Structure 1
């Protein structure tokens, strides 16, 4: 019987690391792929490398620098202050998940993997249109038509908020690891981060809610 192989779209953050551990429980062989798109918090690439090495998965870093040229935003321009915005946060990178998932699918196809795992969530997605379930399902169909494959895009966090994502990490026995080792902060600070950017606030709020629910101290 053939091995069930998966590729995890991996940034080294809370969500993708939780998905990595989820995939390691579910599939027989797991690879991770990280995208270098000129992000200003480049420490995340180093974090992704370290985590992949620690958990023993093969890890690829793909050059997506063209995205930086096409879609300037606060995640790739140090001179731009991170803002939530009235309609769309300026941390939204147009086309990012469209390209990332497509390239992850090509990578998966080349390595005989049927499954692609990504940590997008419609529950806590900051208004990003490319984190919606409808987008992922639509792209999954397009990818299979384009490659003539039967690949499956998995989104284990799609209907989980940050509290529930912490809960999943705990169920996987990796709560402390995810809290201490990952990088979610827009300013590139590991663990609990800067505490002020939107990503840190969302992460901390979810963790505190989960701790309160469990009756534990923060």
Structure 2
């Protein structure tokens, strides 16, 4: 991979996206990271994303604002819906309708502007919350759309949607990140982290994260309230 090749990396500030950024850089890409201020209750992840991007020395980090509170329907965007702290049946209320579709669409626009043929996203279909937009079928379908809907695709520049964590467990993701020097103390994964980025330790995301560190045999650097 040429070290002059550009890539757009969706960087939420969480454990998975920080690992994806390190993976893209290890592969030799010049990385343009993108975070989304979409009205999420755990806004401290935006500060985490900025800090991770700065430490990694990305070419550019930007925050794109979208108010998904107007759509509602999710505990992450509607304060009247409580974040669940116990597992349940079906897709949980922390699912944000169409979030990854919207995020990837905007990242696709950024990729056209910065002449990037690769977009990296940290979706995972093994240790995850059951979201429909984290499945391999979704990534395959969006990849096809990306090459139909863009000037770059029409002109023969193949757009690649990269999901390097798709088939990894949380344990494997953490092991990979540690090998790449990811500082997980900088990351925020909690769905209801406070303004200082401290985790609740009880939500689904916190539970998956804690179990991943335990199984990987890595000390959990998460700051809990």
TM-score when scaled to structure 2? Answer: 0.88
In structure 2, the residue corresponding to 1:3 is in which secondary structure?
coil
Deviations 1:152-189 (A, max 9, x none): 01011000011011111122122xx11x1100011115
Q: Which runs of 4+ in 1 moved over 3 A?
A: 189-192
Equivalent position of 1:185 in the other structure: 190
User: What is residue 18 of structure 1 aligned with on the other side?
Assistant: 19
Deviation at 1:27, TM superposition (A): 2.7
| Counterpart residue number, 1:77 | 78
Instruction: Give the conservation status (yes or no) of the 8 Å contact 2:8–2:32.
Output: yes
DSSP 3-state at the match of 1:143: helix
Offset at residue 79 of structure 1 (A): 2.5
Mark the runs of 5 or more structure 2 residues left unpaired by the alignment: 221-225
Matching residue within 198, 201, 207 for 1:201: 207
- What residue in structure 1 maps to residue 36 of structure 2? 35
Please show how residues 63-102 of structure 1 align to structure 2 within 5 Å.
63-65=65-67, 67-83=68-84, 84-102=87-105
Deviation at 1:126, TM superposition (A): 1.1
Match of 1:128 in 2: 131
**Which residue is equivalent to 1:157?**
165
2:223 aligned partner: none
Q: TM-score, normalised by structure 1?
A: 0.90
Structure 1 portions without partners, runs of 5+? none
Cα pair 2:72 2:78 within 8 Å, conserved: no
Query: What is the aligned length?
Result: 210
Question: Counterparts of 1:192 and 1:129 in 2: how far apart (Å)?
Answer: 28
RMSD: 1.8
d(CA) in 1 for partners of 2:62, 2:47: 12
1:81 is paired with a residue whose SS is coil
**Structure-2 separation of matches of 1:192 and 1:160:** 26
The answer to which structure has the higher helix fraction is 1
* Structure with more contact order per residue of length (Cα contacts < 8 Å, sep ≥ 6): 2
Q: Deviations over 1:168-217 (max 9, x none)?
A: 1122122xx11x11000111157772211110110000110110xxxx77
CA distance in 2, matches of 1:54, 1:48: 10
